[in-house]
Amino acid sequence: MNQLSRRALIRGMVGGCGLFGLSGWGHHVLGSLARASTGINRYFVFAYFSGGWDLLLCLDPRDPDRFTDEDDVIQRTQIQTGYSILGVRPNSVRGVLFGPFMGEFDSTLLERSAVVRGMSMETLTHEVGRRRFLTGKAPAGLQARGSSASTWLAFHVSRANPIPNLVFRVESFNADLPPLASALIVQSVGDLVQILNPQNPTLPSFHQELIHSFLEEQLNCPRARFSTTLRKAREAWERMQSNVVRRLGRLFDFRTPLNELYPENSTERRNMEEVRRHFFGENGAPWDSSEPIVQAAAVAQALINGVSSVITFEAARGLDTHLNNWRTEHGRRLAQGWTAVARLAKFLSQKDHPSGGKWLDRTTILCFSEFMRTPYLNERGGRDHWLTNACLLIGGGIRPRVIGASSDFGMAPLPVDLESGALSPTGVVIRPEHIIRTLFELAGISEDIADLRVPPLRALLA
């Protein structure tokens, strides 16, 4: 195995944030697991838009006829849409405005989505905002507290999968759970293929048996038997060896000719043809296997082939546009991210689930970023960081609607009634922990297992 694969494999074995002990999780987690039954297989996808998105261009736009880019309007509202600068306008879907850079995320998908507006991140720092949305807890300084939501969900709904917690290009944390819930983190789909495929050159079987016997002897010595670290590493190694033997890497190899991967007229070959055609069209997959559209295709493959039930991927990157690159790059990158999510959602909405219905009926996709960008342009022609946020959810268990709003002065967070989703002066300001607690509720986890100390946003639930 080459150096890249070894690094990725070790990172996958020990999780995104190192090895953690088992003490303290047993009764709490197993007790919750006994009550975590929804009677339906659930799948969860986290789509991260990296860098802080401009909500005026996607999930929380303003009417350009009311919020013009005239100086007096900007001063009165503290909102500068920038639509006239970009030559764009928002789109209306059944009377609800959505921004002009939603890519292929069209009205059909928007009508199936729930959008939560007017959230508060309580930070202007990338690491803090990202880690709060991943874990549902405000970090201590920059240090994440607690496990990622994906880690908790992986333990509850994905333990039987070959890779319970699969993560592309995003960090992940495990502070509370056994190592099997820790994320396998890869930087590209190509890395995943390398990890899951046998590496060349391979040793003769006799030499492999000798090495295996030596390792067994070392692992069975008294010191090793009492080592928690070695025990965890061995469990993870055995799991990954099984994945390699099954040649799971073929599922994510989007560039190798099909006749080199699968026999003619096989079901696996037809499935791969379908995925390639849907996500890449006639041009084929981009050479850069870290591109969002390639990640989205890999997410689809991992779900429908039973590789993982909990997956995180980087839908967009390069959104931290403080300079004039906001004008030239931000919208394009947003659209690229929404297109990746749209193709994933459409694929799942068309694919039959073995237990009935469509895959999207059982899969919940959460689209999020660390915070929004300022509602006005800075002196350099870009936008800075703003503590308000929004998110979009689509799929199984989600009630399509718009919940909450940001203010028409400076786009500040506003309080919401968690049951109805309506603005309410006696309500609460929605934060990431409300969203994560809602995902746990969807998974059948009624207790506050992650100690988020907030109730679910029940207005989201179908």
pLDDT in tens, 434-449: 999 999 999 999 999 9
The pLDDT assigned to 26 comes to 35
The whole-angstrom separation of Cα 431 and Cα 368 is 12
pLDDT at 281 over 70: yes
Torsion, Cα of 383, 385, 387, 392 (10° steps): 70
Q: Which of 169-178, 233-242, 345-354 has the lowest mean pLDDT?
A: 233-242
DSSP per-residue string spanning 242-288: HHHHTTGGGGG--SS-HHHHS-TT-HHHHHHHHHHHHHHGGG---S-
Q: How many domains does the chain have?
A: 1
Domain assignment present for residue 205? The answer is: no
Domain assignment present for residue 227? The answer is: no
Q: In 180-238, where do the E strands start and end?
A: 184-186
Which residue segment(s) compose the domain that 71 sits in? 3-197+247-460
For 229, the 3-state DSSP assignment is: helix
**Distances, alpha carbon 95 to alpha carbons 107, 142, 401, 421, in Å:** 11, 40, 12, 18
The pLDDT assigned to 227 comes to 74
Domain assignment present for residue 77? The answer is: yes
The whole-angstrom separation of Cα 455 and Cα 446 is 10
Percent of the chain with pLDDT over 70: 87
Domain assignment present for residue 363? The answer is: yes
The pLDDT assigned to 23 comes to 30
Torsion, Cα of 176, 178, 182, 184 (10° steps): 170
Confidence of residue 200 (pLDDT cuts 50, 70, 90): low
Please state whether the peptide bond connecting residue 201 to the residue before it is cis, i.e. omega within 30 degrees of 0: yes
The whole-angstrom separation of Cα 399 and Cα 461 is 5
More confident residue, 224 or 210: 210
Residue type for position 297 = A
15: nearest Cα among 173, 137, 194: 173
Domain assignment present for residue 241? The answer is: no
Domain assignment present for residue 124? The answer is: yes
The pLDDT assigned to 247 comes to 79
Domain assignment present for residue 391? The answer is: yes
CA 70 vs. chain centroid, Å, equals 38
pLDDT at 241 over 70: no
DSSP per-residue string spanning 311-355: EEEEEE------STHIIIIIHHHHHHHHHHHHHHHHHHHHSBPTT
For residues 10-29, average pLDDT: 35
175-178: long-range pairs with CB below 8 Å, 24+: 175/17, 175/20, 175/144, 175/145, 175/146, 175/147, 176/20, 176/24, 176/25, 176/29, 176/146, 176/147, 176/151, 176/152, 176/450, 177/20, 177/25, 177/29, 177/147, 177/151, 177/152, 178/22, 178/25
The pLDDT assigned to 238 comes to 59
Q: In 175-253, where do the E strands start and end?
A: 184-186
Q: Which of 21-25, 29-33, 365-369 has the lowest mean pLDDT?
A: 21-25
Residues 288-327 have pLDDT tens digits of 999 999 999 999 999 999 999 999 999 999 999 999 999 9
Q: Whole-number mean pLDDT of the chain?
A: 89
For residues 142-151, average pLDDT: 97
106: nearest Cα among 404, 394, 353, 406: 394
Give the number of other Cβ atoms within 10 Å of residue 220's Cβ. Answer: 9
Query: CATH number of the domain that 434 lies in?
Result: 3.40.720
For 118, the 3-state DSSP assignment is: strand
Question: Looking up tokens 């005026």, which residue turns up?
Answer: 56
**Distances, alpha carbon 105 to alpha carbons 60, 334, 343, in Å:** 15, 11, 8
Residues 316-349 have pLDDT tens digits of 999 999 999 999 999 999 999 999 999 999 999 9
Domain assignment present for residue 289? The answer is: yes
Residues 377-429 have pLDDT tens digits of 999 999 999 999 999 999 999 999 999 999 999 999 999 999 999 999 999 99
CA 326 vs. chain centroid, Å, equals 24
The pLDDT assigned to 129 comes to 98
The whole-angstrom separation of Cα 271 and Cα 275 is 6
Q: From the CA atom positions of the chain, what is the Rg in Å?
A: 23
The pLDDT assigned to 59 comes to 98
pLDDT at 22 over 60: no
The answer to whether the beta carbons of residues 158 and 164 sit under 8 Å apart is yes
